Amino acid sequence: MAIVRSDQERDATPDVAMNTGIPKRFSAYRCSDYFASERFTHGVWSELEQMWLIVSADEVIEEPEREFLVVGRAGVDGITFGYRRGHDGLWAHYSIEHDFQFVAPTVSALVEGWFGGTITV
């Protein structure tokens, strides 16, 4: 069961790229599916794992040294989910191995696959 944060406001500052909803500082990432949806920008809670699978927009972190925009986490071994600069879709970053693996074409597909059991790490 997913619970979506409803108590936080979406970042509506003027630093948002025109017509994309993506904050300008993240415009190098193909992440419009995340920023276009309040469901995702408010975060998606996994009741089973007791964690935020997808974090709220105010918790999104850019890791410039990896060219990676973190929007979620798997809850084990420091594995995070996010967007890679210059690549489509969502990727898992395995911090121990310093490796990336493509996991889903969109954040919606990641969430559906995670809760449906078709995406695992």
pLDDT in tens, 47-87: 999 999 999 999 999 999 999 999 999 999 999 999 999 99
Residues 66, 83: contact at Cβ < 8 Å?
no
In the predicted model, is pLDDT for residue 33 greater than 60? yes
* pLDDT at residue 6, rounded to an integer: 43
Q: Is the pLDDT of residue 22 over 60?
A: yes
* Closest listed residue to residue 54, CA positions, set 68, 37, 40, 35: 40
- Is it the case that residue 11 has pLDDT exceeding 80? no
- Residue 119 φ then ψ, to 5°: -120, 120
Q: Is 38 helix (H, G, I), strand (E, B) or coil?
A: helix
The CA distances from residue 28 to 17, 50, 67, 74, 88, in Å, are 11, 31, 9, 24, 11
Query: Which has more confidence, 113 or 17?
Result: 113
In a domain, 121, yes or no: no
By residue range, what is the domain housing residue 68? 2-116
Q: What's the number of domains the chain is made of?
A: 1
Average pLDDT over the chain, rounded to an integer: 88
Q: Look at residue 95 and tell me if it is in a domain.
A: yes
Local confidence band at 16 (pLDDT 50, 70, 90 cut-offs): low
Q: Is residue 100 part of a domain?
A: yes
Instruction: Return the structure tokens found at 92.
Output: 């898992």
Q: Answer yes or no: is 39 within a domain.
A: yes
Residue 117 has pLDDT above 50, yes or no: yes
Q: Closest by alpha carbon to 69, among 38, 46, 100, 39? A: 100
Q: Given pLDDT bands bounded at 50, 70 and 90, which one contains residue 15?
A: low
pTM for this structure? 0.83
